[in-house]
Amino acid sequence: MALLKILHYPDKRLHTVARPVEVVDDDIRRLAADMAETMYAAPGIGLAATQVDRHIQMILVDVSEKRNDLRVFINPEIVEAEGEAVGEEGCLSVPGIYDKVKRAQRIRVRALNLQGEPFELEAEGLLGVCIQHEIDHLRGKVFVEYLSRLKQDRIKLKLKKQQRETM
C-alpha cells in the first residue's frame, strides 16, 4: 500500500469530472486500499478518487469513532434525497477551512462494492453528509463553492499563502 498525494484547492484538477468505473478489478481494489491508507493517515472521514488525482467514480467513507467501518462506493448515484440539513464541513483538499453547507437530510445511494456488486444504502446524519460531499468531488465540485464569492476568494488567498510557506 502507499500514501497518495492529496490535491489542495484551488488546484484546477479538483474540477475534473470523474468517469464511471467500467470493471471493478485488482487495480481498482489496490487504489481503494491506497486511498483508505491515505484517508486514515490524514486523518479524514471521506476521500474521493478525484482528490488523489485519479478521475474515476470511487469514494471512501468512514465516519465511525473507532475508524473500523470503511465503506467504498463505486459509481455512486443518489437515487433519493429528502429534507434539508445545514452542518459544518471540512475537506482534506481545503485544510483548516470549515464552514456551513446545506445538504439533503436523508439520501438513498446506489453504488457498486469492491466485488463489483450493486448495493443500496440509506444514509442520514454525518454519513449522509459525507457521502454527498464526496460525490460532489466526483462532479468536480469542492464544498467551498457553496459559499459566497467573497469567502471563496479569502479561502483561495489563505491556502495559496499556506502553500508558499510550506514550500
Catalog residues that contact Ni ion under the rule CB under 5 A.
Answer: 91
Of 72, 76, 103, 80, whose CA–CA distance to 20 is shortest? 76
- Of 117, 134, 145, 165, the active-site residue reads 134
Cell of 139: 462532479
DSSP assigned state of 93 = T
- Between 58 and 91, name the residue whose CB sits nearer to Ni ion: 91
For this structure, is 165 an active site residue?
Answer: no
Cite the beta strand spans of the chain per DSSP E.
46-48, 58-61, 71-82, 85-89, 99-103, 106-112, 118-124
User: What is the nearest approach in angstroms of Ni ion to the Cβ of residue 45?
Assistant: 10
The grid cell for 103 is 445538504
Residue 137 CB, nearest approach to Ni ion (Å): 6
- Which three three-digit cell numbers place residue 144? 467551498
Q: How far is the CB of 128 from Ni ion (least distance, A)?
A: 15
Residues with a known catalytic role? 134
